Structure 1
Amino acid sequence: MNKSAKMEEIEVLRVELEVLKHEHRDLDEAIAALEERGGTDMLRLRRLKKQKLQLKDRIARIEDRIFPDIIA
């Protein structure tokens, strides 16, 4: 893979990362609102939390691809 293609891939990953972070924040706000309201459907709350955790995992994988650990 040439340098230009690698840079392009990194830019695509950065955009995807920002989208996922935005979705993660939105889920966080939705979960907080449901918890604040009380008497919430626990199944729905659990599903939202699971979805948020999956997003967090995807974010971590993309960050690892953008910023790999380099052992000197």
Structure 2
Amino acid sequence: SGTGNCYDNAAVETFFKTIKAELLWQRSWRTRRDAEISIFEYINGFYNPRRRHSALGWKSPLAFKAKAA
């Protein structure tokens, strides 16, 4: 895509909105390291494997993979 294309960052912007609403605005952390650990755990422990995604028919990646196998 080219310069000025309004859809360039749509996926990333959606992800940032989701992580803010589901994790960051829900609590505060004492240190930056605590926040980094929480964000890492959210992405790798919930968002990627278990969160339901519209592109998968509102199934989690784990459920989608199990059904396909």
Report the TM range for the smaller structure's normalisation: 0.3 to 0.5
Q: When you count helix as a share of all residues, which structure comes out higher? A: 1
Larger CA Rg, structure 1 vs 2: 1
TM-score by length of 2: 0.37
